[in-house]
Homo-oligomer: A and B are copies of this chain.
């Protein structure tokens, strides 16, 4: 930590800070500058108390942390990227670009199986589909729940696709993990640490969506919760952040994908459907995701988007997912990966 004192702070008040820094377990190095004194506090910021509270002292202008706060998710010191394995598919590293696709919500056997076959044909290896749905309003469709899980199990059996689906409640982790090959933590639960720990304990790989207003550092620290709970099979998923722009639902942040790939060894997927919130931008954003270095996509697909029970405006139809797969492939190859 670096503690910057206010210009003109007298020695007595500098010493007071030095003493407190020592008391809190750091080794203080005061440096007299032209304009102000700064105190470098040496010590591992992750194992010591934070010094940030010193900012309440009148003579302290600012306290600046200098160390990264995450360890297990960090690229630094790692030789190889993490490859997550689920349902026989490898995700991340130099493995093929991974397509996960399916409806926003599981609505019926027919809807799910029709979609599953189409996305498989388009090259997807995982079927996505919500059984438990987090909806902004209590009056909106909340998903089929356990019935939805049964349908996912059926679709898996019928098509051989792996299953990725969201878990909303600690109380559902076991049930969901019995069907899902990958547990999805949604954006609204990305800092629901109780749920993160429960999902980690299931032993299933965890796909962690970035929260709506989550800094990349916070996203990595949420992944650190999973890893420090003993589960190293974490997939990050960028799905757009909340900004002032109203023409799209969220702003897809591909810089965050590039950054997460630099800072961490974990695979990073992109969800262009949630990001755009409108189907007409999904293919363009998918191309860009492949180009920026993402390890795969999570895409919403519905046989008849206009009658979808949730988020129809952002779902591709069955021709759309085929078109997406074809249009994205050249960019996957340009990125030096198998499609």
Contacts and interface: CB of A to CB of B under 8 A. Distances in A.
B228 A138 contact: yes
Interface stretch (A82-90, A114-122, A249-257): A249-257
Contact of A262 (B32, B55, B280, B314): B280
Contact of A291 (B61, B68, B290): B290
Contacts of A314: 56
A113 B207 CA distance: 43
Contacts of A46: 137, 139
Contact of A191 (B64, B136, B292): B136
B137 A213 contact: no
A178 interface: no
Contacts of A56: 278-280, 305-306, 312-315, 317
A170 B195 CA distance: 9
Interface stretch (A34-42, A93-101, A146-154, A156-164): A34-42
Contacts of A193: 134-135, 138, 168
A37 to B, nearest CB: 10
A181 interface: no
Interface in A1-32: 2, 4, 6-8, 20, 23-24, 29, 31-32
Interface residues of A, number: 121
A69 B139 contact: yes
Contact of A334 (B33, B136, B331): B331
A49 interface: yes
A107 to B, nearest CB: 11
B313 A53 contact: yes
Q: What is the count of identical protomers in the complex?
A: 4
Given A42-B34, A221-B137, A242-B213, A313 B63 contact: yes
Nearest to A189: B192
B171 A170 contact: yes
A291 to B, nearest CB: 4
Given A262-B280, A305-B56, A247 B38 contact: no
Contacts of A53: 305-308, 311-313, 315
Contacts of A35: 44-45, 67
Interface string A277-296: 01111001101111111000
Nearest to A308: B53
Contacts of A289: 288
Contacts of A32: 42
Contacts of A330: 333-334
A54 B314 CA distance: 10
A169 interface: yes
17 contacts: A2-B38, A31-B42, A33-B40, A34-B43, A46-B139, A47-B139, A53-B315, A64-B64, A138-B224, A169-B194, A171-B171, A215-B245, A216-B245, A247-B256, A247-B259, A254-B288, A287-B293
Given A6-B76, A49-B309, A138-B229, 14 more contacts: A2-B66, A46-B137, A46-B139, A53-B308, A54-B313, A55-B278, A57-B306, A137-B221, A138-B228, A188-B191, A241-B251, A247-B256, A258-B285, A291-B334
